[in-house]
Amino acid sequence: MLNLEILATLRNLIDEARRDGDPEPGAVNVATVGADGKVSARMVLLKHVDERGFTFFTDYRSEKALAIEAHPQIALTLHWKHLQPAAQVRIEGRAEKLSEQESDVYFATRARLSQLGAWASEQSSTLPDRKLLETRVEQREQEFENRTIPRPPHWGGYRVVPDMVELWYAHVHRLNERVRWELINGEWKQRLLYP
């Protein structure tokens, strides 16, 4: 469980980025290690932050999901260059699948075309040409015409339960501020780091 100070700070940074006009203040880099030992990173959208952790959604057949299955310890990075001062948050923790109910609730809030895309896409597999994806979306559109689109069984969310959160704030001459919280024996400990 995140302590209230960390949670409030993270929510404030995301809200400040939103107010500052960032079109995707929850854009987060997710770094994983695959079963082959290779490190991979990609951007996803952070959808929820609460005392339990950090939530994002994906196709469970994707490269990132397969990597999480092999090695659930992952890292997240958020960065807001245009804030004053610029800020970055590094998070390390364990990714856990959300319950089907939690994934269903979020899926129901997505735009209809995004819902259709979750059914039509075989995320991370080879796509011979763009037309095939468009055809698959059209087929799903006909299948679900005039109906609520259910969440595909291969699509859902992860919550990253953190054991480390580090805040970085830019200062002049690279004398940046770094504050790290680490979960040690069930208690969050804070310390400053050299820049």
Distance, CA of 74 to CA of 68 (rounded, Å): 7
SS3 (DSSP) at 187: strand
Q: Using CA of residue 45, residue 51, residue 53, residue 57, what is the dihedral sign?
A: negative
Any idea what DSSP says for residue 85? S
Tell me whether residue 130 is one of the annotated catalytic residues. no
Check if the beta carbon of residue 7 is closer than 8 Å to that of residue 50: yes
Phi, psi of 96 (to 5 degrees): -130, 140
* Nearest by Cα to 16 from 116, 94, 105, 87: 87
- 174, 178, 180, 191: which one is catalytic? 174
Find all residues with CB under 8 Å of 102, minimum gap 6, and list them.
157
Q: Look up residue 133 and give its two tokens.
A: 């994806």
The residues carrying an active-site annotation are 174
